[in-house]
Structure 1
Amino acid sequence: MSHILITGANGFVGRTLSRVLLDAGHTVSGVVRRAGQLDPRVNEWLEPSTDFAAFEAQWPAGLAADCVVHLAARVHVMQEDSTDPDAAFRSTNVEGTLRVARAAWKHGVRRFVFVSSIKAVAEADRGRPLSEDNAPAPEDPYGRSKLAAEQALLRYAQETGMDVVIVRPPLVYGPEVRANFLQLMHGLWRRMPLPLGAVRGRRSLVYVENLADALMHCSTDPRAAGQCLHVADTDAPTVAELCRALGRHLHRPARLVTVPESVLRLAGRLTGRSAQIDRLVGALQVDTTRIRTVLGWTPPYSTDEGLAATARWYRAMKEDSQC
């Protein structure tokens, strides 16, 4: 069994990954900025410095990890307040990531699993599922920072011999999900009419339990060495199909209005939300052939099972709030 160190261990993915690893018999240490939020079986490392500035100096005595899974990152900001978003994302997602990798290498860690994003490659698939061989063309500060971090880590791996594994998930969902996916469930719960009935583009997703399982394999399987791997559920639903499935599991049938995609895109241009509408309407399928071939990995849960679990969590949350 392995000792895995997780940064961002108290986050949405980090908590699930910690449990999956522990249940499989691995030892887990978790790096967090706030104490007291981890599974009691996790060895907690409180490291509140900005962008991991003190990471190497604060490395706990006696901590000997086999692998670091780097989840901590500056993620999408709903209302960006930085005057230079690219610099803000780069500070955390590139410089901070390199600080973690350098400290890990100096303390004997030989594998570094970097959780990147499919946004490091593209925002749309242009008619063909995105594979690891696609030329990257990120379109926003977050995607650009993730790609820059990948490239910096690969250079560091060449210099040192560190085993870097890059994992690119699409949108992650599951219990405790936040951001746009949660907003969608709010709309379905309130029975709001949604103008998504005509959206045909398919978009890959990954259930958090499936991602955690894939990350465990990437952390411990020798065959993952040096790989860049795309991870996603088997299914890639349209937005309309996603709404119908979620509505069914929420016991709130989706009220979908058929609005032509051209009208949605026009509305996006008129309201200054073209990027958001393009992501909603456009197709973004992910090719997972490599991880299936190299590691023999398949998602342990179907998309419908993942959506059902997410809906159960949401319904329980709503029921608790009414007590």
Structure 2
Amino acid sequence: MQTSFNPRSFLVTGASGFVGRALTQHLGIQAGTRVVCAARSHIPCAAPNMTFFQCDDALETQDWRAALDGVEVVVHLAARVHVMRDTAASPADEFRRINVQGSINLARQAADAGIRRFIFISSLKVNGEQTLPGRPFQASDAANPQDPYGTSKHEAEQALLAIGRETGMEIVILRPPLIYGPGVRANFERLMRLVQRGVPLPLGAVHNVRSMVALDNFVDLITLSTWHAQAPGKIFLVSDDHDVSIAQLLRMLASGMKKHIWLIPVPPCLLVALARLAGKSMDANRLLDSLQVDISETKRMLNWQPPHAMQDAINKTVTSFTSKQ
């Protein structure tokens, strides 16, 4: 029977990233903990119990022995992430080299070092790119990745679970959707800029359903998964448990900024046609499609509830964004 334990020493890869910074700070403020922060570029350690480990681009051959010394739990965030305009000669090969072979290399060394638990941060893209009405993704669904990034995450998941069965190291897999919070970039930041500028947006008639997760909620679940007895060997989906349409999200952003927003009710089919003519079909899909997850199993198995309400998390994100303008 699996039992929970009280880990006090952690290795976090990708510690300089959006999630990595928040997670290492959260783990580092807990009394009696030790956190090894692994990243390619140097990052300052915020506390004496945090140490930096510099890794290189070749994660598939990286020697992790020094970083793993004395560690109980690994949280593997480092990855080649999904990019809109990939310039690699073979994106699939690059994703596989870093996300699959790099993860296998770290997990093998972790098992050899006696690491008890290995948390792998995967992606909802393993499930697919969109959901049908009333059919949210579940962790038990068959994988259906649609691009090299999602495929590489799925392949890494399968390899890590196999290593866990072979070595006894406890593997936990988390698949987040879009993560937002202070410092968020990419599409979420673009939406905030549009709301801030007061630009009329033709999205008032869009009634899709999308799941997202606040950074603080995700960090809370990662932390829980480092010790919970029911976590090993499982795949968990995560969200704020409050799904919204793109129109609702824009109104929540506007509320956080205390701004008026003008949403024009243009039929979605017309938006799709215009996007196709402009060569922006993928961008339109991200705005108009539904992408919903069912986290009932996560809540039940881990006795977890997202601790931060979505509007509160959006307000915190907006405050950080506007303070830097």
| Band the TM-score falls in, shorter-chain normalisation | over 0.9
Is 1:112 the equivalent of 2:118?
yes
Deviations 1:1-22 (A, max 9, x none): 4211100112111111112223
CA positional deviation for 1:274: 1.8
Matches within 5 A, 1:1-323: 1-2=6-7, 3-25=9-31, 26-41=33-48, 43-56=50-63, 58-60=64-66, 63-127=69-133, 128-318=135-325
Whichever residue aligns with residue 79 of structure 2, its letter is A
* Contact kept? 2:68, 2:113, Cα under 8 Å: no
SS at match of 2:75: strand
- Determine the C-alpha separation between the residues in 2 that align with 1:103 and 1:271: 48
Deviations 1:248-270 (A, max 9, x none): 11122222221111011112222
- Determine the C-alpha separation between the residues in 2 that align with 1:22 and 1:125: 37
Q: Which structure 1 segments of 5+ residues have no match? A: 319-323
Whichever residue aligns with residue 185 of structure 1, its letter is M
Deviations 1:39-80 (A, max 9, x none): 234533333322324533x52278211110001111121321
SS at match of 1:44: strand
- Determine the C-alpha separation between the residues in 2 that align with 1:42 and 1:76: 32
TM norm structure 2 = 0.93
SS at match of 1:146: helix
Whichever residue aligns with residue 109 of structure 1, its letter is I
How many pairs align? 317
CA positional deviation for 1:88: 1.4
* Contact kept? 1:30, 1:42, Cα under 8 Å: no
- Determine the C-alpha separation between the residues in 1 that align with 2:43 and 2:210: 36
- Determine the C-alpha separation between the residues in 1 that align with 2:195 and 2:251: 9
- Determine the C-alpha separation between the residues in 1 that align with 2:261 and 2:136: 27
SS at match of 1:287: coil
Deviations 1:188-243 (A, max 9, x none): 11111222111111100000000000000111112211111001102011100000
| Aligned match of 2:3 | none
* Contact kept? 1:10, 1:38, Cα under 8 Å: no
Q: Aligned pair in 2 of structure 1 residues 198, 222: CA closer, same or farther (>3 Å)?
A: same
- Determine the C-alpha separation between the residues in 1 that align with 2:237 and 2:67: 35
* Contact kept? 1:51, 1:95, Cα under 8 Å: no
- Determine the C-alpha separation between the residues in 2 that align with 1:69 and 1:96: 14
* Contact kept? 1:47, 1:55, Cα under 8 Å: no
Runs of 4+ in structure 1 over 4 Å off:
none
SS at match of 2:226: helix
CA positional deviation for 1:23: 3.0
CA positional deviation for 1:112: 0.6
- Determine the C-alpha separation between the residues in 2 that align with 1:7 and 1:184: 29
Q: Alpha carbon RMSD of aligned pairs, Å?
A: 1.6
Percent of matched pairs sharing the same residue: 38
- Determine the C-alpha separation between the residues in 1 that align with 2:27 and 2:252: 30
CA positional deviation for 1:272: 2.5
Q: Aligned pair in 2 of structure 1 residues 47, 23: CA closer, same or farther (>3 Å)?
A: closer
* Contact kept? 2:11, 2:67, Cα under 8 Å: no
Whichever residue aligns with residue 103 of structure 1, its letter is Q
Q: Which structure 2 segments of 5+ residues have no match? A: 1-5
